[in-house]
Chains A and B, each alone.
Chain A
Amino acid sequence: MTTPVFRTEGLTKTYGDGPAAVQALRGVDLTVPEGEIVVLLGPSGSGKSTLLNILGGLDRASSGTAWFRDTELGTLSDRALTRYRRNHVGFVFQFYNLMPSLTARENVDLVTEIASDPMDAGEALERVGLGTRAGHFPAQLSGGEQQRVAIARAIAKRPTVLFCDEPTGALDSSTGRTVLEVLTAINASLGTTVLIVTHAAATAALAHRVIRFADGSIRQIEENAARLRPAEIEW
C-alpha cells in the first residue's frame, strides 16, 4: 500500500462555545492514500467542508491530530501553513473565486509566479480545454469556463493535493460533467490526489474511495471496485 497523503486521529472541531457551541467534527479518524480521487459525501452541515478546510490549512482543529505526509498540520505556524498551501495545495470553490481584474491566463499566473515548480500557465489552461480563452476576463466567461480557469489555477502549481468544495454546485449538469472530466484527467495524468466535497451522490461513482459523513463523523468508507467515467454518471 502507498504512503497515505493525509492521516487524522480523533479530529474534532467546535465553533463557538457555551450553549451556542456547534460541534462540526466529532472525532474523525481517516487515511487518504496518495494519488486517489476521494469523494466526501453528506448532507449540509455534516462536517465534510470543515474537514476539507482543516486538511487544506484554512482552519485549525479543536482537538485531535491531522498529518500531511510526515507533517502534523496543527503544529504549523500561520506562515508555515501559508507555505504549505502555496506549495502543496490547490483549491477549487463553488463560486470559482477568480480575480475579476485579471484575465484567465493572469489568474493562473497569479499562482505560477509564487509557486516553486509551476507548469506554464498556457499548459494549465490547455489541460482544462481553455487554451484559446486565455486572454478573456472572468466577466467574459461562462460559469463552467470560470470554474475550469479556477481548476487550471489550482493545478498550475503541480499541487500534491487538489481540494474541491462543491466544484459543480453552481453549474448545470453538462457543464458539471465537463468539470469532473477535467478533474479525473488531472488525477490520471499528474497523479494529483483529489478530494471532492459534494452532496451530489452521483459524483461518488467516479471516485476511488467514497467517505460518507453525517453529524460530524464518518459513517462509512467504501472503495469503488468499478469506477465510472464522468460521462457515464447519471445526474
Chain B
Amino acid sequence: MLSKLIKYEWKGTYKVLMLINAFTVFITVLCMIILGSPVYRVMDNESALVWGMLLFLLYYATLIGVSMAVTIYCGIRFYKSMYTDEGYLMHTLPVTKNQLILSRLIVHSIDMFITEVLIYLSVALLLGPVCKIIGDRDPDFTMETLMYESASEMGISIPAFASVIMITLVIATPCAILLVYGAISLGQTFQKHKVMGSLLCYVGLYCVVQTVSSFAMFPQMITYIGATKDSLNVSFDFRNYFFGVLGSSTFILLVFAVICYIISYHMMQKKLNLD
C-alpha cells in the first residue's frame, strides 16, 4: 500500500515540481549566456562588477525562490491531502497513518532533494565561467587555485567537502519537511484560521530549532572566537569546527523532526477533525 500511495503522490507532484525547477535551469542558462557573451568580456572592470552583482542578485533570488516554492508546495500538498476535503478520501483508504505520512515524506523529500541537487549543479556549472571572467582580469587567479586554497584553508578536499554536504542534505531534507508537517498538524488544533495557525506554528518551530541549534553550537563558536582572536594561533582546526557545527545542528534538526513526526501521527490518529 505504501508504494501505491507513493506512486499517486508522485503523480500528483512531479509536474509542478518540474515547472518550479525549470526556473533553476532557466536562470543557470541565462547566467551562462550572459557571462560567456563577448559583450561581458570586453566590459571595463567597474561595469562588469555592477552587472555581475545584479546578475548574482537575480540568480540568488531565483534559487531562494525555487527552494521556498518547493517547500511551500510540499506543505500545501500535505495540508490539502490530509486536512481538507481530500482528507476524506485519504483517511478512509485501508492504509495506516504511518503509511500516509511516510508516503508524503518520501515523495516530498525526493522533490526537495532533486531541487537541491539542481541548485548545486547550477552553482557548479556557473563556477567555471565566473572563474574564467575573474581569471581574464587577474592572471594569478584560476579555478584550480581557488579549489586548492579553499581546500587547504578548510583542511578538507573539495570532493570530501561535497560528499559531507550531500550526506547532510540527505538527512536534513526529510527533517525540514517534517518540520512543515508538524507545524501544519499543530495548526489543526486551532478552532479557526487553521492555515494561519499552521504558519505561526512553523515560525515558532523554526525559531525554537534555531535557538536550540545556536546553544548547541556555542562550544564550537567559543573555540572559534578564541582561536581567531589570536592571529598567531595556527592550531585552530577549521575542519573540526565545521564538522562540529554541522553535526550538532543536523542532530538538533533530527530530534525536532522526530518530535514533528510524532505530533503529525498523533493528530491524525487521535485528534483528526476534518471540517
Partners in one complex: no
